Chain A
């Protein structure tokens, strides 16, 4: 056996495992190094894996009895809230029941572990069952370069070498910074903290409460100043098999500026969200089984590394800040999966060409540019910025709730014309001018 791998993958999350699965199927010899005790042990997400890239990696995964996911998305809800009410866009459809599913609610500790099992199976079925490995419980401390090209990694006293390295280390991307693709200090401007609880219910209670049938599930996002204590961000609630994942995503920069005034800590803000009358009723009677948090990028391309490849190296998933929140969905795990697949395909090409320099690695960027990942990220930047607009985040939820309170309340009095009600709500919480401005921004963004 050659003492060098075709590729070393740093990180056994979704990006790294997707790269590994693709490499194994292409009969490449690789080493995947995960610092946790198992894949998923260190990962936190909301979270929904959107789209059906998983079907590409694990064809007909849904036929398996327990395919690592909690529920598929059948019911979507976007809720605007003021301090006492909620106004929702609610979409449920039986068409979502047909696989491949449009989205999967996952718990990472279970899902990533399942996906790692698929990689082990693919290694066993490949031409090099004894020469590719997943190694856990090992922390990669350094990326080794020779003559400017990445040639391997160091973990403690051990060094491992390969023709190239795929960095899939996640958003806390120390190695990405070490090799100079991102600055040593990444400011908080476009970064958020996701904070959540997993709350368990009797499965029957959960299914009755959220009208869930079989493995159908619901995703609910929340917008409004009374959801986040006026901090830029939003809330989420996703249904698992017998629990819900509930939490907030909060801008770190905005927390730095606003928390002091309120005298609250981030975990107090989560408790306030859970106390919101509309939210409290959704989670009543459950038992908290885990509290967790993780940094997440906010989908602003300005935070991305200077480049996502260099001689002998590629960046995937959140290590490259590949995340999108356009208002339609928060997409991160699908971006991780897709970028992992594309990076691995580039390794296969590089092996064929016998060239692992930036000259071949740049094909990875080209592939990503041609995929939904960078196309959407680029095209929807306007929507990303719009989502951080104060009018949309704070005023619109108050406005629609105020209007709905009047519109949906029957008083046995002569009814005022609807436009008058609307006009009053607009002037109370915002102005025609502000709405016109975000309307124009919105039209441009979409």
Chain B
């Protein structure tokens, strides 16, 4: 069967508050840590929603908008760079699973 890219997959996710132009981030990442002392930058590989990406300079960037609230980065980051919380139901992003 056809294999989907990550953006096609995320395109199927039913995100909350999509109409709002400015959602409040529920995860804060201190990318200074990722881009200075961290040796593995593992969040860029383990995040199932591709919220952590590497640019051509090998620098880590983070965006919370595609987050599916799985929790992987909270456990994977052993450098203290990830401050994880749940999205606010009114002003945050996050998911509404159709199947789950």
- Consensus secondary structure, chain B interface: loop
B44 to chain A: closest residue by CB: A265
* A143 at interface, CB cutoff 8 A: no
Q: Are B69 and A267 closer than 8 Å at their CB atoms?
A: no
Closest A residue by C-beta to B74: A172
Selected contact of A35 from candidates B48, B71, B76, B89, CB within 8 Å: B89
Chain A residue nearest in CB terms to B45: A259
Q: Which A residues from 23 to 41 make CB contacts under 8 A with B?
A: 35-37, 40-41
Within 8 Å of chain A (Cβ to Cβ): is B12? yes
Q: Contact between A275 and B3 (Cβ–Cβ < 8 Å)?
A: yes
Secondary structure at the A interface, as helix, strand, loop or mixed, is mixed
Contact A293 B95, CB 8 Å, known A266-B47, A285-B1: no
Give a binary string over B77-99; 1 marks a CB under 8 Å from any A CB, 0 the rest: 01010001111111000111111
A44 cross-chain contacts in B, Cβ below 8 A: 70, 97, 100
Q: Does A67 contact B (CB under 8 A)?
A: no
On whether the beta carbons of B3 and A274 are closer than 8 Å, the reply is yes
**Most chain B beta-carbon contacts within 10 A, residue among A172, A185, A280:** A172
- Separation of A284 and B70 alpha carbons in the complex (Å): 28
B97 and A193: CB pair below 8 A? no
Contact flag A288-B97 (CB < 8 Å), given A139-B89, A171-B71, A259-B45: no
Say whether B71 contacts A195, CB under 8 Å. no
B70 touches A295 (CB 8 A): yes
Q: Of A71-79, A103-111, A405-413, which binds chain B?
A: A103-111
Interface residues of B in 34-56 (CB under 8 A from A): 40, 42, 44-50
Across chains A and B, the number of contacting residue pairs, with CB separation under 8 Å, is 153
Residue of B nearest to A111 (CB): B100
CB of B86 within 8 A of CB of A174, answer: yes
Q: Which listed residue (A35, A137, A264, A291) contacts B13, Cβ 8 A?
A: A291
Q: Is the CB of A110 within 8 A of B99?
A: yes
Q: Are B9 and A291 in contact (CB under 8 A)?
A: yes
Taking the complex as formed, is B10 at the interface, i.e. its CB lies under 8 A from any CB of chain A?
A: yes
What residue in chain A is nearest B52 (Cβ atoms)? A265
Task: Indicate the size class of the contact surface on chain A.
Answer: 35 or more
CB < 8 Å: which of A252, A275, A284, A286 contacts B46? A252
CB distance from A262 to the nearest CB of B (A): 9
Q: Digit string of B15-28 for contact with A (CB within 8 Å is 1, else 0)?
A: 01000000000000
Report whether A191 and B75 are in contact in the complex, using a CB–CB cutoff of 8 Å: yes
Which residues from 75 to 128 on chain A have a C-beta closer than 8 Å to any C-beta of chain B?
107-110, 112
Q: Assess the A289–B96 pair: CB atoms within 8 A.
A: no
In the complex, what residue of chain B is closest to A171 when comparing beta carbons?
B71
Q: In the complex, what distance in Å separates the CA atom of A202 from the CA atom of B3?
A: 19
Instruction: Contact check, B99 vs A109: say whether CB atoms are below 8 A apart.
Output: yes
Check if A329 is an interface residue, CB within 8 A of chain B: no
What 17 additional pairs, Cβ within 8 angstroms, besides A185-B80, A256-B40? A37-B89, A40-B100, A42-B69, A44-B70, A109-B97, A139-B87, A172-B69, A255-B46, A256-B78, A259-B45, A260-B40, A267-B48, A274-B1, A274-B3, A290-B97, A292-B99, A295-B75
Q: 9 nearest interchain CB pairs?
A: A108-B100, A293-B48, A109-B100, A291-B9, A295-B71, A172-B71, A259-B45, A256-B42, A293-B70
